[in-house]
Amino acid sequence: MEVRRRPTRTEPSALVMPPLRRSRAAVLLLSLTACDGAQSALSPAGRDAERVLTLFWVMVAGAAVVWLVVMGSAVYAARADREHSEKTAGRFIVFGGVVFPVVTITALLIYGLALLPPMLDLGPREPRLEVVGEQFWWRARYRYEDGWVEVANELHLPTGERTAMTLESPDVIHSFWVPALGGKVDTIPGRTNHLALEPTRAGTFRGACAEYCGQSHALMALHVVAEPPEEFERWLAEQARPAVAPEGAGRRGAALFLGQGCGACHTIRGTAANGTLGPDLTHLGSRAHLAGVLPNDADAIARFIRDPEAVKPDAQMPAFTMSDDEADAIASYLTGLR
C-alpha cells in the first residue's frame, strides 16, 4: 500500500517566497529610481529646492528621534518586571509626554522658520515674469524692452540668477510647483502672489499644478528650461520676434488657420491672428512639448486640433470639424513656427 505524504505547510511558502523576494527587490529598486529625475524634490537643481531638501532631512531625523524614544519606552514598559512608583510614573509623563515633545517640535519649528527669509527674497530686480494658471495650462509673460513676450507651458530661467515672478489665476485656485527648483505657491483669483527661483544647474525640469483644479488637473504640466544667462537672453530675443512667414505648403496651413477662426483665440505675432483667450503660438515649433503633456510634433498638434478633450478632458478649446488633410496642414504650419 502506497502512503502519500501530505504536503507540509512550509512547502508552499518555500515555492512562493523566492518570487516574492524578487518582486519586493524590484519594488525597492523602482522606488529608489523615483528619487531622481526632472520632477524630483530629492534631486534639487535650485537654491530654494536645496533648502527644502535640507529641511526635509532635518524633519526626518527629528521624527526618527521621536520614534526611537517612543518605541524604546514602549519596549521598556512591556518588558519591565518591576512596578514603578506614582512619582516615577508622574516624572515619565511630564518629561516624556510634555517636555520632550515641546523641546523637539520647538527646535524643528525654529529651524524651519529660519529658512524662510532667503526663500522669500525676490532678488534685486523687479519681477519681469508673470505666470498665470488657467484651466488647464500655464501662461507666461516676460517683460522685454518696452513690451511683453508670451509663451505657454514652458518657462526659461537663467542659471545663477534669482528670477522673481508674479502668480495669478483668472478662474480657480491652482498651485505652481517645480519640485527640482523650489517650493509651491498658489495662484488665487483676485490675488497676486510672488515667487522667486534660482536654478543652480542647467537642464529641463518638469513642473505641475499641485492644487486640484478640475478634470485635467493631473495634466496641467509645464517644463522649465534652466540655461546660462547669455543663452536665456538669446532665447528671449528670438521669442520677441514676429513669426516667420510660411513658405510653400505652409501657406495653405496658415490660410486654414485664419479661415477656421483659430486666430480668434490664439495670437501669432506678425499675422492677423491676435486672440488672447488661448496660448500664444508665435513660436510654437520651438517648444519641446505641446500642451505640457505631448511631444511637440505635427501628429500631436493635429490630434489636439481634432479633439482637445481627448488629450485634456474639460479643456476650454473646442473641437474643430475639419478634414484630416486640413488638420494636418495647420499642424504642419504650426510646427514650422520656430
138, three cell numbers: 500655464
Is the model's pTM score more than 0.85? Answer: no
Instruction: Tell me whether the omega of the peptide bond preceding residue 136 falls within 30 degrees of 0, making it cis.
Output: yes
The residue type of 219 is L
pLDDT value for 15? 42
pLDDT value for 18? 56
The CATH architecture to which 38-240 belongs is Sandwich (2.60)
Residue with cell 512591556: 78
Stretches in the chain below the pLDDT threshold 70: 1-36
20, three cell numbers: 516574492
Any idea where the domains of the chain sit in the sequence?
38-240, 250-335
Contacts of 38 (CB under 8 A, 6+ apart): 180, 203, 204, 205, 206, 223
The residue type of 64 is A
3-state DSSP helix/strand/coil % of the chain, to nearest 5? 45, 20, 35
CATH number of 250-335: 2.60.40.420
pLDDT value for 13? 42
Residue with cell 512619582: 87
Q: What is the DSSP letter of 241?
A: S
pLDDT value for 96? 81
Burial of 45 (0-12, 13-18, 19+ CB in 10 A): buried
Contacts of 22 (CB under 8 A, 6+ apart): none
Fold match flag (38-240 vs 250-335)? yes
pLDDT value for 21? 60
